[in-house]
Chain A
Amino acid sequence: MALLKEPDLGTPAKPGPATVSVEVDGHPVTVPEGTSVMRAAALSGIDIPKLCATDSLDAFGSCRLCLVEIAGRPSTPASCTTPVTDGMRVRIQTPRLEKLRQGVMELYISDHPLDCLTCSANGDCELQDMSGVVGLRQVRYGYEGENHLDLDKDTSNPYFDFDPSKCIACSRCVRACGEVQGTFALTIEGRGFESKVSAGAGELFLDSECVSCGACVQACPTATLQEKSVVDLGMPNRTVLTTCAYCGVGCSFKAELRGDELVRMVPYKDGGANEGHSCVKGRFAFGYATHPERVTTPMVRDSIDDEWREVDWDTAISHVARRFRELQDTYGQGAIGGITSSRCTNEEVYVVQKMVRAAFGNNNVDTCARVCHSPTGYGLKQTFGTSAGTQDFRSVAQADVIVVIGANPTDAHPVFASRMKRRLREGAKLIVADPRRIDLVRSAHIEASHHLQLTPGTNVAVVNAMAHVVVTEGLTDESFVADRCEDFDAWSEFIAREENSPEAIEAITGVPAAELRDAARLYATGGNAAIYYGLGVTEHSQGSTMVMGMANLAMATGNIGREGVGVNPLRGQNNVQGSCDMGSFPHELSGYRHVSDDAVREVFETLWQRPIVAEPGLRIPNMFDSALDGSFRGLFVQGEDIAQSDPNTSHVTEALRALDLLVVQDLFLNETAKFAHVFLPGTSFLEKDGTFTNAERRINRVRPVMPPKTGKHEWEVPGEIARAMGYEMSYKHPREIMAEIASVTPTFAGVSFEKLDKLGSVQWPCNDAAPEGTPTMHVDAFVRGKGKFVPTPFVATTERSSRKFPLLLTTGRILSQYNVGAQTRRTANVTWHPEDVLELHPHDAEERGIGDGDEVTLASRVGRTRLRALLSDRMPVGVVYTTFHHPDTGANVVTTENSDWATNCPEYKVTAVQVGKGVTR
């Protein structure tokens, strides 16, 4: 499409029904109470000139360009800050107003460089537009007087420039940073003529608190804050609407191109997940797609010690098919399998699991969600009946108490964090349960009511103790429990036992009993209470138990089934939800239906014309174990770097070495590809055509910005392998794949590309009962009927600190990098995170003679690695922390084979370690 310019109605929408009727230059319009005159006018089709107002920010009223006349009032008020009243008659075009506006514009322009024709924002500058709109014809004041034209440019940020000579001090950037992003990095220093925008105390952008989200750049009406890519490449001239491929927030973007070149990504205001906001990754870090290290030709080799040989697609595919069949002929049908990727589209994932089940004839398919949110699948299915977050993101605006457990949204889910912070600034209370003092605990205008700084591995003890307080202090929502749930009595008898009291667990968890009691009371009595959690919940030996523990707590207090409440997993990768929905687990077909269910299998068998095995297949860790015992010989890996992302690297690489055929499909020759025999080039999100499903079950369209650099769509490849193996499977377009998904999956029955293109997005379940999707789940009944209380005894992990390994390591991620870093390391985001570091408490550092920035050795019982130390009192004594974005550090060299009892999700969050100064052996 041509360049999409979204309408800007000047001030934000007000909630409620349209009840106030006004007349703007004779045009009648009816709007909700509290709507500004400016917005009402825009809704009636008349744009009032403006500079400091934009509809993503509260009105500010500083530029005075939007003056209007109102019948019965002598003054000329600013329309952006004046709310409508019933019967109001507004005039916009009068000679008096015209003159006033021209005067305002003249002042602005007299202190603005008149290089419009060569300015990077030419054609996309509101100052330029407004000069035209108000009919400015002359500027009487020259540049002789004092002006700002000589101010220096700040080019420190790798993605955008700040040219203060073009600044009109409208403060939109400052307000965007505060209101939208919630970082408050910018201020207007000085007053009147002296006023100027500043990042922190006169710092460069790069050295300030700025997290490079770009909200200020987007809000700036001039070229003062401008993307470097626009400066370099020029203004874009067409738009493709698509979805970010990084985290599970799933932000919608306008990919803006100049011809075929992607110039910039601008978050889309109509995006259900992000409503016009984004973070540094989605907005700026897309350069990896065209990085020179991308491999775009298939390659094969006989042994992993050989050099790669480039081959054409047909050769590669027939080689893969022949070798897979040979392995099955020799070692049995179950000797091969596949792994799907949460970075791929639903359609791409679906065809891989179909290739495994129908063409391979087994259920050896798993997904990288195994190592992140598989316990969510298990825990929420047991208690609520399906594996899905209960709310949409918007719901957080109705929460009164927000509980964040084992998640660090400001780094890992930044756009959702901005929504959450907005609600917290409005007064919602915050409880954080995390060993580490994450930013949310204390940041600009936010302070957690309770930070439960628990010892890693004791989540279940903490959530049980919270439930204990609820049950024993009479805080249970009895009518909700009686009407909506089952098995409460047995559970409440269990949870009320003394062993679950805050006092009894204090010594294990390190959380003061009184603090925990207060937190539980706040959760139960503070109004709408919503739980948001991340991998700090799931990646434990009791990850699934903890998910059930949180579900129990929410049910006991009636915090399920309406806006503002719920139990919400914050998914790591963009399509974790979708890849799980698509039947990527070895025990489940699409829509979370067990393979042993005859009726479900029959649906697929009829359509696919192949029998489906009724027994579960191997999960990823079981594939590794079976590779080592010789019963599993061939693996197809779609877009996942298991050698870097999975725990206990030496065990994983040993298993990969043991395979006779490893096929890797990816953008880059990643760590896993070192062990591969066939490399099939994958496509980036900019080349994909399909759908992603975000953490709120929202199915968004991903649209191609460029043709596949590999000459083949990724969804075509599994079909071609299957065909070469003798199973007919082909589609002409991904829309046909979605049509098949909808035909076999009741929760997707109403989903189609056509509907998504029309509505923008839908949240599943989307079917006849909910044709436009389901923002909030379990409203009148749980998916499984009654919500089920499940007793969750705390069982300590076997991974304990010892004399040899006295510290506990926990892992996480940071804002600018993403997962194993394959993408973000190939962008300017490395500016912020050139290497993984080990955070440790100054006390632990001092005991070991370690100083800030020293190189240290990190060792566990399974391996050792080197890192640089970062002293930080965010960590409690005895706990250290690192990220796993860089292969050089290979944090997973030290993580162990321990895993969640129910799902085998690795216990990344607890490893007993020792840290020593210097590089030791």
Chain B
Amino acid sequence: MTTMSPVMRMAHDISAQFRHLSLGEAADVIADHMRKFWDPRMRAQLVADVEQAGIHCDSHVAAAARLLRSGGG
């Protein structure tokens, strides 16, 4: 049913919880959550997966991934 990678699926699950926030606020919260709870290899994987998905990626997930990348994962 789902062909997303595990980290992509989890990132979508997280971002679905923060639709009530603006994109910028949501990205902060999501990236912060991932820094607190995700092993660095999962964050690196997400950044790679988002890059590969390009414009097809969910905007919240992509924004959070950008923060992870710029903040050094």
Residues of A within 8 A of B (CB): 334, 363-364, 494, 541-542, 545, 586-587, 594, 596, 615-619, 621-622, 625-626, 629, 631, 791, 793, 795, 861, 897, 899, 901-904
Q: A541-B13, A626-B41, A899-B13 are in contact. Are A587 and B36 (CB under 8 A)?
A: yes
Closest 8 A/B residue pairs (Cβ): A901-B13, A625-B6, A618-B39, A795-B16, A901-B14, A793-B20, A615-B40, A901-B17
Q: Are B1's CB and A793's CB within 8 A?
A: no
Q: In the complex the two chains form, is B39's CB within 8 Å of A622's CB?
A: yes
In-complex Cβ contact of A861 among B1, B6, B19, B41 (8 A): B1
Q: In the bound complex, do residue B37 and residue A587 qualify as a contact, i.e. CB atoms below 8 Å apart?
A: yes
For this complex, 24 residue pairs linking A to B, each with C-beta atoms less than 8 Å apart, are A334-B41, A363-B39, A587-B37, A615-B39, A615-B40, A616-B37, A616-B38, A618-B39, A618-B42, A619-B37, A622-B39, A622-B42, A625-B7, A626-B41, A631-B41, A791-B20, A793-B20, A795-B16, A795-B19, A861-B1, A901-B10, A902-B33, A902-B37, A904-B10
Which B residues are CB-close (under 8 A) to A334? 39, 41
Interchain CB contact (< 8 A) of A902 among B14, B40, B45: B14
Smallest distance from the beta carbon of B9 to chain A beta carbons, Å?
Answer: 8
Instruction: Give the shortest distance, in Å, between A470 (CB) and chain B (any CB).
Output: 20
Interface size on B, residues (CB 8 A): 20
What chain A residues lie within 8 Å of B20 (beta carbons)? 494, 791, 793
Can you list, as one digit per residue, whether each of B9-26 has a CB less than 8 Å from chain A (1) or not (0)?
110011011011000000
Question: Can you add 9 more A-B contacts, CB < 8 Å, to A622-B39, A631-B41, A793-B19?
Answer: A334-B41, A541-B13, A594-B36, A619-B37, A625-B7, A795-B17, A901-B10, A901-B14, A901-B17
Q: How far is the CA of A615 from the CA of B41 in the complex (A)?
A: 10
Residues in A whose Cβ lies below 8 Å from that of B38: 616, 622
Within 8 A of A (CB), among B29-56: 33, 36-42, 45
Give Cα A185 to B70, complex, Å: 66
Cross-chain contact of B17 among A494, A594, A793, A904 (Cβ < 8 A): A793
A616 and B39 contact, Cβ closer than 8 Å, known pairs A861-B1, A904-B10: yes
B residues adjacent to A (C-beta < 8 A): 1, 6-7, 9-10, 13-14, 16-17, 19-20, 33, 36-42, 45
Identity of the chain B residue whose Cβ is nearest the Cβ of A617 in the assembled complex = B39
Q: How far apart are A363's CB and chain B's nearest CB, in angstroms? A: 8
Q: Whose C-beta in chain A lies nearest to the C-beta of B7?
A: A625
Q: In angstroms, how far is the closest chain B Cβ from the Cβ of A714?
A: 27
- Return A373 CB to nearest CB of chain B, in Å: 16
Complex Cα gap A621–B33 (Å): 17
Which residues of B lie under 8 Å from residue A902 when comparing CB positions? 14, 17, 33, 37
Quote the shortest CB–CB distance from B16 to chain A (angstroms): 5
CB neighbours (8 Å) of B1 from chain A are 861
Residue of B nearest to A595 (CB): B36
Shortest A693–chain B CB gap in Å is: 23
Nearest CB in chain A to that of B6: its residue: A625
Could you tell me the distance between the alpha carbons of A629 and B5 in the complex, rounded to whole angstroms? 10
Q: Which residue of B6, B9, B36 contacts A616 across the interface (Cβ within 8 Å)? A: B36
Decide if B36 touches A596 in the complex (CB within 8 Å). Answer: yes
Please, which residue of chain A has its CB at the minimum distance from the CB of B16?
A: A795
Bound CA–CA A596/B71 (angstroms): 15
- The answer on a CB contact under 8 Å between A901 and B16 is yes
Q: Whole-angstrom distance from the CB of B54 to the nearest CB of chain A?
A: 21
Q: How far is the CA of A899 from the CA of B12 in the complex (A)?
A: 12
Q: Which residues of A contact B7 (CB under 8 A)?
A: 625
B11 to chain A, nearest CB (A): 10
Residue of B nearest to A594 (CB): B36
CA distance A629 to B33 in the complex (A): 23
For A364, the chain B residues whose CB sits under 8 A away are 39
Contacts of B6 in A (CB 8 A): 621-622, 625, 897
Residues of A contacting B41 with CB < 8 Å?
Answer: 334, 626, 631
Closest to A900 in B: B13
* Distance between A207 CB and nearest chain B CB, rounded to angstroms: 46
- Write the chain A residue with the least CB distance to B33: A902
A229 shortest CB reach to chain B, Å: 48
Assembly CA distance A484 to B33 (angstroms): 26
Neighbouring B residues of A618 by C-beta, 8 Å: 39, 42
- Determine the chain A residues whose CB is within 8 A of the CB of B37 once the complex forms: 587, 616, 619, 902-903
Smallest beta-carbon distance A166→chain B, Å: 61
Q: Which residues of A contact B10 (CB under 8 A)?
A: 899, 901, 904
Residue of A nearest to B11 (CB): A901
Q: When chains A and B are docked, how far (Å) is the Cα of A631 from the Cα of B41?
A: 9
Residues of chain A within 8 A of B39, CB atoms compared: 334, 363-364, 586, 615-618, 622, 626
Return A634 CB to nearest CB of chain B, in Å.
Answer: 15
CA of A903 to CA of B17, assembled, Å:
13
Closest chain B residue to A378 by CB distance?
B37
In whole angstroms, what is the CA distance A887 to B21 when docked?
Answer: 44
Note all chain A residues with C-beta closer than 8 A to B19: 793, 795
Chain B residue with Cβ nearest A912: B1
- Distance in angstroms between the alpha carbons of A242 and B34 in the assembled complex: 41
Residues of chain B lying within 8 A (CB to CB) of residue A901: 10, 13-14, 16-17
| Chain B residues positioned under 8 Å from A622 (CB to CB) | 6, 38-39, 42
Task: Please indicate the chain B residues that have their CB under 8 angstroms from the CB of A616 in the complex.
Answer: 36-39
Which of A545, A903, A904 neighbours the largest number of chain B CB atoms within 10 Å of its CB?
Answer: A904
A898 and chain B: residue at smallest CB distance: B13
In the bound assembly, the distance between CA atoms of A622 and B39 in angstroms comes to 9
Provide the bound-state CA to CA distance between A541 and B14, in Å.
10
From B39, which residue of chain A is reached at the shortest CB distance?
Answer: A618
Closest residue of chain B to A542 (Cβ to Cβ) is B17
Contacts of A617 in B (CB 8 A): 39
Which residues on A sit within 8 Å (CB–CB) of B40?
Answer: 615
A617 to B7, CA, bound (A): 14
Interface centre among A494, A615, A619, by most chain B C-beta atoms within 10 angstroms, is: A615
| List of B residues within 8 angstroms of A494 by Cβ | 20
CA distance A901 to B14 in the complex (A): 5
CB distance from B31 to the nearest CB of A (A): 14
The interface residues of chain B lying within 8 Å CB-to-CB of A899 are 10, 13
Closest to A623 in B: B39
Considering the complex, give the chain A residue whose CB is closest to the CB of B21: A791
Separation of A364 and B42 alpha carbons in the complex (Å): 13
- What CA separation (Å) do A626 and B19 show in the bound complex? 29
A791 to chain B: which residues have CB within 8 Å? 20
B5 → chain A, closest Cβ, in Å? Answer: 8
Q: How far is the CA of A587 from the CA of B37 in the complex (A)?
A: 6
Tell me the bound Cα distance from A616 to B34 in angstroms: 10
B63 to chain A minimum Cβ distance, whole angstroms, is 17
* Docked pose: A901 CA to B29 CA in angstroms: 13
Q: Which of B10, B14, B36, B37 has the most CB of A within 10 A?
A: B37
Q: Is the CB of A545 within 8 A of B36?
A: no
B27 to chain A, nearest CB (A): 16
Q: How far is B37's CA from A618's CA once the two chains are assembled, in angstroms?
A: 9
Taking the closest CB of chain A, its distance from the CB of B43, in whole angstroms, is 9
Q: What distance in Å separates the Cβ of A369 from its nearest Cβ neighbour in chain B?
A: 15
CA distance A182 to B42 in the complex (A): 50
Q: Which B residues lie within 8 Å of A594 (CB)?
A: 36
Which residues of B sit under 8 angstroms from A545, Cβ to Cβ? 17
How far, in angstroms, from A791 to B13 measured CA to CA in the complex? Answer: 17
* Nearest chain A residue, comparing its CB with the CB of B19: A793
Rounded to whole angstroms, the CA-CA distance of A220 and B33 in the bound complex is 57
